[in-house]
Chain A
Amino acid sequence: GDSVTQMEGPVTLSEEAFLTINCTYTATGYPSLFWYVQYPGEGLQLLLKATKADDKGSNKGFEATYRKETTSFHLEKGSVQVSDSAVYFCALSDTGRRALTFGSGTRLQVQP
């Protein structure tokens, strides 16, 4: 079945540091890939998405590129802020399914 694997957290960075959160997936067909963010005490917010190979999703300084050859969708940001502290979830939606499959989440803590 479909699965998503994320790097374990927490990831602790200083403000303005470079961020990478790794995500790899297993799926049949050609899934769409997503990054969601969850701030403390809140629901999930869509951060960015990519629907086909080599697409780059971007939003609020975050980027991720759909790499079919490595089945990866790593999240990057050039300069993190304290306000980026949250839990980040990688997810996929396969062609034949009507649901998202999520990774276990990666907690990011940014220190001033």
Chain B
Amino acid sequence: DAGVTQSPTHLIKTRGQQVTLRCSPISGHKSVSWYQQVLGQGPQFIFQYYEKEERGRGNFPDRFSARQFPNYSSELNVNALLLGDSALYLCASSPEGGARNTIYFGEGSWLTVV
């Protein structure tokens, strides 16, 4: 079975631009979460979606937004990019939205803002 898939794998954007990252969860998983991992640090939680509804939000500005589609795939959007948004963006899926479910991560999308 396919794992969590993310696209694109690498991209370079200019300050002020907007970016959309995409994620397909493991088949049968209804919950998708997004994390930001800055180089040398642990991942930081951005959003969780379950059954197309936002169930959790981390401490990120409103420039970050996300949505989940009926097929449970998800997009993360970041507007007005800053140099500090350069990071690995990880998508994770789990069968349900509960806190104790095992969360499976994709390989991430590397975003460089120049």
Interface set of A (CB-CB < 8 Å, partner B):
4, 32, 36, 42-46, 49, 51, 89, 91, 93-105
Whether B99 contacts A43 by the Cβ 8 Å rule is: no
Q: List 11 A-B contacts (CB under 8 A).
A: A43-B107, A43-B108, A49-B102, A89-B42, A96-B99, A97-B99, A98-B48, A98-B56, A101-B45, A102-B43, A105-B41
Interface residues of B in 24-40 (CB under 8 A from A): 33, 35, 40
Residue among B44, B58, B102 making CB contact with A46, cutoff 8 Å: B102
Question: What total of chain B residues lie within 8 Å of the partner, measured CB to CB?
Answer: 27
Measured between beta carbons, the chain A residues less than 8 angstroms from B106 are 43
Contact B108 A100 (CB under 8 A): no
In chain A, what residue has the closest Cβ to B45?
Answer: A99
In B84-102, which residues have CB < 8 Å from any A CB?
Answer: 90, 92, 97-100, 102
A36–B99 alpha-carbon span in the complex (Å): 16
Chain B contacts with A in 41-64, Cβ cutoff 8 A: 41-45, 48, 50, 55-56, 58
**A96 proximity list for chain B (CB < 8 A):** 99
The interface residues of chain B lying within 8 Å CB-to-CB of A89 are: 42-43
Residues from chain A with Cβ under 8 Å of B90 in the complex: 43-44
User: In the docked arrangement, what's the CA distance between A91 and B45, Å?
Assistant: 12
Name the B residues within 8 Å of A45 (CB-CB): 105
A101 partner residues in chain B, CB cutoff 8 A: 45
Q: Give which listed residue, B56, B104, B105, contacts A97 with CB less than 8 A.
A: B56
